[in-house]
Structure 1
C-alpha cells in the first residue's frame, strides 16, 4: 500500500486534518451505488420529504395563493428528488438548495440533507462557506416567507439550530471516518514496517553467521592446509612426523565439523538444539586456543594479565577469542615458523586490550589462499562491541593486530 492510494494522508493533508479527503469524497470516482448507499439515500429522501410535507402544510395554512402553494409543492418535490444527486455534485447542489430554500421553505429538508452530505464528503473550507450562507438564509427566510403560526424569532432559532445540528453531526461522522482510515493506514504501515524489520533481522543474522563461520573455520582449515602442504613437500619425512601431521589433520577436521554444527545450530528453532553442544568460546578458553596452536607446531607466547577471565563479559571475551584466533591464523598463513606473541591486558572500567604480533617470516612462504575478509570482519565485530581495532605491518616487516574493547566497571 502506497501513500498515493490515500492522498489525504500525504504530509500536506496531515498538516491540515480538516482538509483531508476520504474515500468517496469525489463523486465521479464512485462507479456505482452499493446496497448501503441505496439505503442511506432512501432514508435521506424520506427525511427531506417529511420536512417538506410539514413545510407544505404550514404553507397551506398561511394566506398564500393557490398557485404559490402548488409551486411550493412542485419545487419541494424537485428538491427532494435532487437529494439523489448529492453524492455527485454536493457543493453545487447544496448552494442551489440554500438559495431555493430562502424563498421556498418546502425545500428546507432537502437543503439540510445536502448540507449534511456536503460536510461528510468535503473538506472544511467549502463546508464553512456554504454553512455560513445556510445560516444567513435561515435568518432571512422568516422575513421573505413569514409563517403566521409562529413568531419570527422562533423561526430564526429553529432554522439556525437545524443547520448547526446537520453540519455538526456530519462533521462528527467525517471525523470518525477519518479516524478509521488513519488507523487502517497505520495498521498497514505497521505491518509493512514489521516485514521490513524481519527482513533486516534475517539479513543481519546471515551476515553474523557468515562472519562467525569465517572466524571459526578459517582457523581450522588453515591447519589442514599447512599440514597437508608439509606432507606434500616432504614425502620422505619420518613416519613419526607423518603420523603427527595426519593426526593434526584429523583433529582439525573433526573440530571444523563440530564448529560448523554449532554455527548451523543457530538456525534451528528453539528446543531443537543438541544438549551436547559446546558453549561459545570466552576469554577462559583462550589458553586452550594457544595450546592447540602450539600442538600444531606454532611458537606462541601468551601474556594474559587477566587474573579472573570468568569476570569478563561473555560477549567481550568471545570477541577477544576471535581476534586472537584470526591473528594466529594469519600468522600461520603468512609467517610460518615465526614466534607469535599474544597479550591481553586491562580491567573493569579501563577496558580490555588484546594484541597479536608476529615478526617477518625467516624464509620463503607458501601462500595459503584466503578470503581477505577476516580483518574486515574483526573490525566490524570490535566496532559493534563499542571498541576499535587496528592492524598493519610493523617496522621490522612483521604484522600486528591490536584491539581495545570496553569492560564496564
Structure 2
C-alpha cells in the first residue's frame, strides 16, 4: 500500500484539485494528444471510403473520435472516469482507439492496481463482443481478439512498469529526506547533550571557585576585626579563586564557541580520582577542616569516567558543605575495589555560626544524582540524626 505522502504525489487528486502542470506535464500531454490525433486521422482515412460503412455511422464515429482526442486533456484530472467512458465510446467509434489506449495507460500509471484490474478486465471481457458486432474485414475473428487482447495487456503492463518506477524514485526520495531529517535531529540532539554537559561542567567548576569567593568575602564581612594575617590570607584566597574562575570561564566559553566539549584546543585535561588529594589540599588552604579517609590503593586504576564522576561528586559535596555549613569539620571517605564498586561518602555536622551561610538552589545535588545514574551508579543525600548532612554515592568499578 502506498504511503499517503507518496500517493498524493504520484496519483492525481480524485476531487479534481491538482497543482498547475509543469513543463514536463505539458510536454507529455501534448505528445499523448498528438498520438491520439495521429491514430484518429489514420483510422478516419481508412474508414471514410469504406463502402460497407453507412455514412451516418461514419459521421458519428468521426465526431466521437474527435471528442475523444480532446478528452485526452482531461486524463490527469479524471483518469478513471475517462477510461470508463472510453469503454462505452469504443463500441461506437473506431477512431477513438488512440484516446482509449492513452486513457487505459493513464489509469495504469496514476491509479492503484484495483482500478486497472476492473477497467482492463472489462476491456478484455468485451473484446469478443466488440469484434462480433464490428468485425474487421480481412482479419479472422480470433486473430483480431488476440491482437487486441495483447495490445491491452501490453498497455497495462507498460503503465504499471512506469508506475512502479516512479514509485521507486519517490520512495528513494522520501527515504533520503527522512535520512536527512534524522541526521539533523541526531545532530541537534548531540548538540543539546553537549551543551548540557558543558552546563554541568560550568556548575561543577565555577560553583567551586565562586563559593570560595563568597565564603571568604562573607567571613571578612562577618569578622571585620580579624587579624591582619588572616585578612591577608583570605584576600589571597579570593584573588586566587577569582583567577581560577576566570580561567575556567574562558575555557568553557571557548568550548561553546568551537561547538562541543571535545573541540576546544589547549584546554586543561578533565580531572580524575588521582586529583582528589589536590582538591582536598586546595579546600584546606581555603580554611576548611577536612578529614580524608582515602582507602583506594591505586586511584589510577579506576576507570577515567568513574574517577571523573567521583571527583565531581566530591567537589560539589565540598562546595555545598562550605556554603551551607561554613566552619564545620567535614569527613570525606573513599573506599572501593574492582568488582565491588567505588563508594564515596561526605558528612558534616550541623552548621556553626562562624560565617553566614551561602544560599543555594539545590540544582547541584540534582546534577550529581544524574551524573551517578548515567555511569550506572546511585547517589543519596539527606540530613543525619544529629542535624548534619551526608552525601553517599556508589559507582560501578568493573574488574579488568
Identify the residue that residue 9 of structure 2 maps to in structure 1. Answer: 22
How far apart are 1:235 and its partner, in Å? 2.5
- Segment of structure 1 superposing worse, 45-54 or 241-250: 45-54
TM-score normalised to structure 1 length:
0.87
Match of 1:205 among 186, 194, 212: 194
How far apart are 1:106 and its partner, in Å? 2.8
Q: 1:267 is paired with a residue of what secondary structure?
A: helix
Is residue 327–residue 354 contact of structure 2 (8 Å, CA) maintained in 1?
no
Identify the residue that residue 115 of structure 2 maps to in structure 1. Answer: 126
Q: 1:175 is paired with a residue of what secondary structure?
A: helix
TM-score normalised to structure 2 length:
0.89
**Offset from partner CA, 1:259-297 (integer Å, 9 cap, x none):** 22232232243898453x321111010000011111122
**Offset from partner CA, 1:2-40 (integer Å, 9 cap, x none):** xxxxxx634xx88xxxxx343560273236544333322
How far apart are 1:349 and its partner, in Å? 2.6
Match of 1:330 among 317, 320, 324: 320
Identify the residue that residue 101 of structure 2 maps to in structure 1. Answer: 112
Is residue 213–residue 241 contact of structure 2 (8 Å, CA) maintained in 1?
yes
How far apart are 1:125 and its partner, in Å? 2.7
Unaligned runs of 5+ in 2: none
Identify the residue that residue 376 of structure 1 maps to in structure 2. Answer: 366
Q: How does 1:279-294 map to 2 (within 5 A)?
A: 279-294=269-284
- d(CA) in 2 for partners of 1:390 and 1:188? 46
Match of 2:29 among 37, 41, 65: 41
Q: 1:337 is paired with a residue of what secondary structure?
A: coil
Match of 1:170 among 129, 154, 159: 159
- d(CA) in 2 for partners of 1:124 and 1:220? 72
Q: 1:301 is paired with a residue of what secondary structure?
A: strand
Is residue 124–residue 152 contact of structure 2 (8 Å, CA) maintained in 1?
yes
Q: CA RMSD in A?
A: 2.6
Is residue 222–residue 355 contact of structure 2 (8 Å, CA) maintained in 1?
no
Identify the residue that residue 17 of structure 1 maps to in structure 2. Answer: none
Q: 2:139 is paired with a residue of what secondary structure?
A: coil
- d(CA) in 1 for partners of 2:116 and 2:301? 71
**Offset from partner CA, 1:336-369 (integer Å, 9 cap, x none):** 3322111222222322111111122354662212
Instruction: Indicate how the Cα distance of structure 1 residues 262 and 312 shifts in structure 2: closer, same or farther if over 3 A, else same.
Output: farther
Tell me, yes or no, if structure 1 residue 301 matches structure 2 residue 285: no
Identify the residue that residue 400 of structure 1 maps to in structure 2. Answer: 390
Match of 2:39 among 35, 48, 51: 51
Is residue 95–residue 130 contact of structure 1 (8 Å, CA) maintained in 2?
yes
Q: 1:73 is paired with a residue of what secondary structure?
A: helix
Instruction: Indicate how the Cα distance of structure 1 residues 119 and 366 shifts in structure 2: closer, same or farther if over 3 A, else same.
Output: same
- Segment of structure 1 superposing worse, 324-333 or 33-42: 33-42
- Segment of structure 1 superposing worse, 279-288 or 221-230: 221-230
Tell me, yes or no, if structure 1 residue 161 matches structure 2 residue 150: yes
Instruction: Indicate how the Cα distance of structure 1 residues 329 and 170 shifts in structure 2: closer, same or farther if over 3 A, else same.
Output: same
Is residue 22–residue 178 contact of structure 1 (8 Å, CA) maintained in 2?
no
- d(CA) in 1 for partners of 2:20 and 2:367? 61
Q: 2:9 is paired with a residue of what secondary structure?
A: coil
- d(CA) in 1 for partners of 2:168 and 2:263? 45
How far apart are 1:199 and its partner, in Å? 3.3
Identify the residue that residue 224 of structure 1 maps to in structure 2. Answer: 213
Is residue 94–residue 115 contact of structure 1 (8 Å, CA) maintained in 2?
yes
Is residue 12–residue 77 contact of structure 2 (8 Å, CA) maintained in 1?
no
Q: 1:108 is paired with a residue of what secondary structure?
A: helix
- d(CA) in 2 for partners of 1:362 and 1:84? 92
Q: 2:310 is paired with a residue of what secondary structure?
A: helix
Instruction: Indicate how the Cα distance of structure 1 residues 131 and 360 shifts in structure 2: closer, same or farther if over 3 A, else same.
Output: same
How far apart are 1:391 and its partner, in Å? 0.3
Q: What count of residue pairs does the alignment treat as equivalent?
A: 394
- d(CA) in 1 for partners of 2:176 and 2:20? 28
Tell me, yes or no, if structure 1 residue 9 matches structure 2 residue 3: yes
- d(CA) in 1 for partners of 2:222 and 2:30? 98
Identify the residue that residue 342 of structure 2 maps to in structure 1. Answer: 352
- d(CA) in 2 for partners of 1:381 and 1:208? 10
Is residue 350–residue 387 contact of structure 2 (8 Å, CA) maintained in 1?
yes
Q: 1:391 is paired with a residue of what secondary structure?
A: strand
How far apart are 1:227 and its partner, in Å? 1.6
Unaligned runs of 5+ in 1: 1-7, 15-19
